[in-house]
């Protein structure tokens, strides 16, 4: 069987899982598909209300019995089915499996008069790296089709213990290593706000389905921006925790065993409250007892409360930067950063310029790490079926680069460690000069708002944070406006890549595209950074 046959069968399998009564009779011709759930008539008024509620509200109603898990799961399955038909965001659709679990949750609540756990009966979407026993994890490779997982990923086990329901596995780019979600099996995932825009990557299916509200909270992963870019492009919040805070064990991955820059798991959602719900629910299951890399660190409410006290007193100290020295962001992103700075200053907080410390160096270091095997892992997966590499892969994992030998790998690891310590020294110097403790840094997530397909060129704004292993939370800010976000006259490019990125800016094409910032804190500051992000969101959108 050819790889094309394998891909066609897998794609048909997912489509066939959608019941006939959930299928659209016609596909809208508009660029945006955000209005389809209300206009299609496929969801009831109650189902629309359920899918547009917050996760925090839903778990309260599920725990009290006000809503049944069957009703909530059905609503999200229907909206997810619409999402897939419109923007191609699923690698697996599991309504029968999900509804069986939902019925169990309802029966448990009825029998025991208490919920299973903090996520009782709540549907959670999973990026197609998360393994569910009995199902496939293709990860966008034709050669992985037909391999049935024999065990759950640790995170899946713990979410199950917390009471979650699993109903979809969402799309990723071939190999995961690009910020545009496309593979040879399913094709391209689109942005529901405008099908001409990317949904981001590699958690692009999560970005699309949550942006469409076919999911309320989803699991992504991030080694170079793969949670943060989809969050930014779909006007969502996203948490990139430090390595060791949440479990990653038994997730599928490219380049397994690469230990210099770690991929991490984290949630995407419509609010910081839902990021917190997910994080606290997982930490409540004591993941350090199941994944040896997880640090025994329960949720520290005192850390969040300390930030809230500073917020109340107008006493946060935040750094910010708009340019990393490699590539200047497009006008909508520059405006997003300035909007956040102005809002915080208006609330009485100290917001001071931060000089990005050797970011171009860190970007180059990351690129060496990502290509350290010369692309051998990815290309061995492609050889299983004979499928070609997607063009985007060579932008980040260039097979023409020579493999690093073990001593060169060790040097990369030492270079990373030294860079991390130098960055801490830069923070200490900032604090000594200002006489203030630096609470966090405000920065672009990417150089662009939600980008046109095949135009994503620069990963550096996100990747540096992976090198540092800092905590980062994406905050959605604004939308590109062709009347405001005009090209700067007389701009001199910083680099050749900068010239390419600037050439790609078209105010008309980007009109309405989501633009975001990331709030960056030191390692293991998830509670603090989420609290800061929540305050920024309140200032922006109250």
| Residue 67, CB-side half-sphere exposure with 13 Å CA sphere | 25
Rg of the chain's alpha carbons, rounded to an integer?
Answer: 22
Question: Rounded to whole angstroms, how far apart are CA atoms 291 and 283?
Answer: 12
Phi and psi at residue 415, to the nearest 5°:
-60, -40
- Give catalytic residue positions: 127, 202, 226
Residue 330 corresponds to which tokens in the numbers above? 């497009």
Q: Is 54 annotated as a binding residue?
A: no
Q: Is 202 annotated as a binding residue?
A: yes
Find the farthest-apart pair of alpha carbons in the chain and give their distance in angstroms, rounded. Answer: 71
Cβ–Cβ < 8 Å for 188, 211: no
Residue 530 corresponds to which tokens in the numbers above? 């989420």
Residue 408 corresponds to which tokens in the numbers above? 């060169």
| Residue 285, CB-side half-sphere exposure with 13 Å CA sphere | 27
Q: Is 226 annotated as a binding residue?
A: yes
Report in angstroms the alpha-carbon separations of 463 from 227, 247, 262, 324. 11, 20, 11, 12
Q: Is 29 annotated as a binding residue?
A: no
Question: Rounded to whole angstroms, how far apart are CA atoms 155 and 247?
Answer: 6
CA 133 to chain centre: 23
- SS3 assignment for 333-385: HHHHHHHHHHHHHHCCCEEEECCCCCHHHHHHHHHHHHCCCCCHHHHHHHHCC
Question: Rounded to whole angstroms, how far apart are CA atoms 12 and 210?
Answer: 23
Question: Rounded to whole angstroms, how far apart are CA atoms 416 and 410?
Answer: 10
Q: Pairing between strand 350-353 and 440-444?
A: unpaired
Residue 258 corresponds to which tokens in the numbers above? 């690469």
Q: Is 225 annotated as a binding residue?
A: yes
Angle between helix 55-64 and helix 272-283 axes, rounded to 10 deg: 50
Report in angstroms the alpha-carbon separations of 41 from 15, 72, 176, 261. 20, 17, 35, 46
Which DSSP category does 444 fall into? E
Residues constituting the chain: 542
Element of type H or E holding 218: strand 217-222
Q: Is 210 annotated as a binding residue?
A: no
Question: Rounded to whole angstroms, how far apart are CA atoms 23 and 15?
Answer: 10
CA dihedral 104, 107, 111, 112 (to 10 degrees): 50
Q: Which residues are annotated as a binding site for substrate?
A: 176, 202, 223-226
């Amino acid at each position: 069987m050819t790889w094309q046959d394998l891909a066609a069968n897998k794609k048909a399998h997912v489509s066939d899982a959608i019941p006939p009564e959930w299928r659209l009779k016609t596909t809208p011709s508009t660029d945006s598909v955000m209005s389809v759930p209300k206009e299609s008539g496929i969801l009831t008024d109650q189902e629309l209300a359920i899918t547009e509620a917050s996760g925090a509200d839903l778990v309260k109603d599920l725990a009290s019995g006000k809503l049944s898990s069957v009703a909530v799961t059905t609503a999200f399955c229907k909206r997810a089915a619409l999402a897939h038909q419109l923007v191609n965001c699923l690698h697996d659709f599991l309504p029968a499996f999900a509804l069986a679990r939902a019925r169990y949750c309802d029966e448990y609540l009825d029998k025991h008069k208490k919920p299973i756990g903090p996520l009782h009966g709540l549907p959670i979407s999973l990026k197609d790296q998360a393994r569910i026993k009995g199902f496939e994890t293709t990860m966008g490779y034709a050669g992985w089709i037909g391999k049935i997982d024999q065990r759950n990923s640790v995170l899946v086990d713990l979410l199950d213990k917390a009471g979650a329901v699993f109903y979809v596995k969402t799309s990723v780019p071939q190999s995961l290593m690009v910020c545009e979600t496309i593979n040879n099996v399913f094709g391209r995932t689109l942005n529901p706000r405008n099908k001409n825009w990317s949904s981001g990557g590699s958690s692009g299916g999560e970005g699309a389905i949550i942006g469409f509200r076919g999911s309320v909270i989803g699991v992504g992963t991030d080694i170079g921006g793969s949670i943060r870019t989809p969050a930014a492009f779909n006007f969502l919040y996203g948490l990139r925790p430090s390595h060791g805070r949440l479990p990653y064990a038994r997730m599928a991955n490219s380049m397994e065993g690469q230990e210099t820059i770690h991929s991490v798991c984290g949630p995407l959602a419509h609010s910081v409250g839902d990021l917190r719900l997910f994080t606290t629910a997982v930490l409540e299951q004591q993941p350090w007892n199941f994944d040896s890399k997880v640090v025994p660190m329960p949720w520290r409410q005192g850390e969040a409360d300390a930030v809230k006290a500073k917020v109340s007193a107008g006493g946060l100290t935040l750094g910010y930067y708009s340019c990393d020295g490699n590539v200047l962001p497009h006008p909508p992103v520059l405006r997003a950063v300035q909007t956040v700075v102005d809002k915080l200053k208006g609330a009485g907080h100290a917001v001071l310029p931060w000089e990005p410390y050797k970011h171009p160096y860190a970007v180059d270091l990351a690129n060496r790490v990502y290509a350290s095997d010369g692309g051998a892992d990815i290309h061995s997966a492609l050889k299983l079926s004979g499928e070609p590499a997607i063009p985007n892969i060579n932008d980040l994992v260039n097979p023409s680069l020579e493999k690093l030998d073990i001593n060169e790998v060790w040097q990369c690891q030492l270079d990373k460690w030294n860079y991390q310590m130098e960055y801490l020294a830069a923070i200490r110097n900032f604090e000594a000069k200002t006489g203030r403790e630096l609470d966090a840094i405000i920065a672009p997530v990417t150089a662009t708002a939600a980008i046109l397909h095949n135009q994503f060129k620069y990963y550096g704004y996100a990747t540096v944070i992976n090198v540092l292993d800092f905590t980062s939370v994406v905050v959605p800010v604004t939308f590109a406006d062709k009347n405001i976000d005009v090209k700067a006259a007389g701009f001199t490019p910083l680099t050749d890549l900068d010239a390419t990125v600037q050439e790609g800016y078209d105010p008309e094409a980007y009109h309405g595209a989501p633009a975001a910032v990331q709030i960056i804190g030191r390692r293991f500051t998830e509670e603090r950074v989420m609290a800061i992000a929540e305050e920024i969101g309140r200032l922006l959108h109250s």
